[in-house]
Amino acid sequence: MKFDFLSESDQAYFIHKASTLVEALPFIRQHSGDIIVIKYGGHAMGDKKLSDSFAKDIGLLKEVGIMPVIVHGGGPQIGERLKNKNISSKFIDGLRVTDKETIKVVEEVLSKDINSEIVKSISSAGVKAVGISGNINNLIEATKLKIELKDNDSNIEKIVDIGFVGEPIKLKKNIILDHIQKGHIPVIAPLGIDVNNFSYNINADTAAGFIAGELEASKLLLLTDVAGILDSKKNLISSLSLKEAKNIIKENFVSGGMKPKIQTCINAMEKGVNKSTILDGRIPHSVILELFTEHGIGTQLISN
Domain spans of the chain?
33-223
Alpha-carbon distance of 266 to 260, in angstroms, equals 10
69-73, 156-160, 225-229 — which one is most confidently predicted on average? 69-73
The contacts found for 245-253 with CB under 8 angstroms, 24 or more apart, are 245/301
pLDDT greater at residue 230 or residue 46: 230
When the pLDDT of each residue in the chain is averaged and rounded to a whole number, the result is 88
Report the topology of domain 33-223: Carbamate kinase (3.40.1160)
pLDDT of 29 > 80? The answer is yes
Helix spans in the chain (H): 8-31, 43-46, 48-63, 75-84, 100-107, 115-123, 173-181, 204-215, 242-248, 258-270, 286-292
- The 10 Å Cβ neighbour count of residue 209 is 30
Reading phi first (left if > 0) and then psi (alpha if -120 to 50, else beta), residue 172 is in beta
* Three-state DSSP state, 238: coil
Q: Are strands 67-72 and 185-189 parallel, antiparallel or unpaired?
A: parallel
Alpha-carbon distance of 296 to 279, in angstroms, equals 9
> Measured on CA atoms in the order 213, 246, 44, 74, is the torsion positive or negative?
positive
Model confidence band, residue 243 (pLDDT cutoffs 50, 70, 90): very high
Model confidence band, residue 28 (pLDDT cutoffs 50, 70, 90): confident
CB distance 28 to 193 below 8 Å: no
Taking the whole predicted model, whether its pTM rises above 0.75 is answered as yes
22-36, 158-172, 181-195 — which one is most confidently predicted on average? 181-195
> What per-residue confidence (pLDDT) applies to 151?
63
Question: Which among 220, 180, 188 has a CA at the least distance from the CA of 73?
Answer: 188
Alpha-carbon distance of 3 to 95, in angstroms, equals 64
> What per-residue confidence (pLDDT) applies to 68?
97
Question: Which among 54, 66, 181 has a CA at the least distance from the CA of 119?
Answer: 54
> What per-residue confidence (pLDDT) applies to 136?
94
Alpha-carbon distance of 196 to 139, in angstroms, equals 14
> Measured on CA atoms in the order 104, 105, 108, 114, is the torsion positive or negative?
negative
In angstroms, what CA-CA distances link 66 with 11, 57, 231, 283? 31, 11, 32, 21
